[in-house]
Structure 1
């Protein structure tokens, strides 16, 4: 089991890294070269950098995943691609993406895009709080514990 983060814009990188340390799990962060860092990280963290552009990180994540990985992404399209794989996919709010609900999420995304294209304003996501981070971490901790005990 590894923890894989769709790193572009993920608000829970630090929380995932903390969980990786806590459970001695490798953490893989896939992100655009635009987010390159010289910051030193522990050996259990691997960065995979991809070129700028739409969906580069998504395709690399699909290529890199392994059986049993936990993936964290806010991208419904990427989540839909991963649901046919033997992995678990989570939003940064802690909710797990499911085959039964992904079509509805993709439809909402499409409708929002159509509205914006027509010049209408749509609400963005609410600010991500400290409480949101803690809730995410607790949800994922419980799911890792279930996976580790199997």
Structure 2
């Protein structure tokens, strides 16, 4: 499993959790953004800068993610594409996206976009709370723990 991060909008505190997890679990974490990012020096962590443009980072991730890989994103369309490829998607708030709910999430996103396009003010997401951070860390740890157990169970 590789962990891909839609890093342009990923909160710093979530990146820090990912950096610690990469080292602890020895899993490759790749941050993808349209700007240069500083990352903690580690063989398990890297960053990729893509060209500026609409969804360029998303398409980079989708084209390289494999079934079983994890993508950290708050972007609903990116999460849907990852799920369609057999990957997993986790929001920075610790919510696992799944095939049962992604259609509803896409519809809600589209409806809110239509309201904004019509000039109606909508509220953005709430500030990332301590509870959100804990949920994210717990969900990530759970996924990486399952991965670790599977690797240890493989016959050599």
User: Per-residue deviation at 1:40?
Assistant: 5.5
Given that residues 39 and 46 in structure 2 are in contact (C-alpha distance below 8 angstroms), is that contact kept between their aligned partners in structure 1? no
Question: TM (normalized to structure 1)?
Answer: 0.91
Partner of 2:94: 94
Partner of 1:30: 32
After superposition, the C-alpha distances for 1:25-69 in whole angstroms (9 at most, x for unaligned) are 111111113xx1456622211111111111000000011112321
2:15 to 2, 13, 16: 13
Rounded Cα–Cα distance in structure 1 between residues aligned with 2:92 and 2:122: 21
Query: Runs of at least 4 residues of structure 1 off by over 4 A?
Result: none
Structural RMSD (CA): 1.5
Gap regions ≥5 residues in structure 1: none
Matches within 5 A, 1:45-56: 45-56=45-56
Partner of 2:104: 104
Taking a change above 3 Å as real, the CA distance of residues 40 and 149 of structure 1, as seen in their structure-2 partners, is closer
Partner of 2:153: none
Gap regions ≥5 residues in structure 2: 151-156
Taking a change above 3 Å as real, the CA distance of residues 38 and 121 of structure 1, as seen in their structure-2 partners, is closer
Rounded Cα–Cα distance in structure 1 between residues aligned with 2:16 and 2:142: 17
Given that residues 37 and 47 in structure 2 are in contact (C-alpha distance below 8 angstroms), is that contact kept between their aligned partners in structure 1? no
Rounded Cα–Cα distance in structure 1 between residues aligned with 2:38 and 2:139: 31
User: Per-residue deviation at 1:14?
Assistant: 1.2
User: Per-residue deviation at 1:15?
Assistant: 0.9
Taking a change above 3 Å as real, the CA distance of residues 73 and 37 of structure 1, as seen in their structure-2 partners, is closer
Rounded Cα–Cα distance in structure 2 between residues aligned with 1:51 and 1:85: 23
Residues paired across the two proteins, number: 148
Taking a change above 3 Å as real, the CA distance of residues 131 and 116 of structure 1, as seen in their structure-2 partners, is same
User: Per-residue deviation at 1:130?
Assistant: 3.0
Given that residues 23 and 42 in structure 2 are in contact (C-alpha distance below 8 angstroms), is that contact kept between their aligned partners in structure 1? no
User: Per-residue deviation at 1:77?
Assistant: 0.5
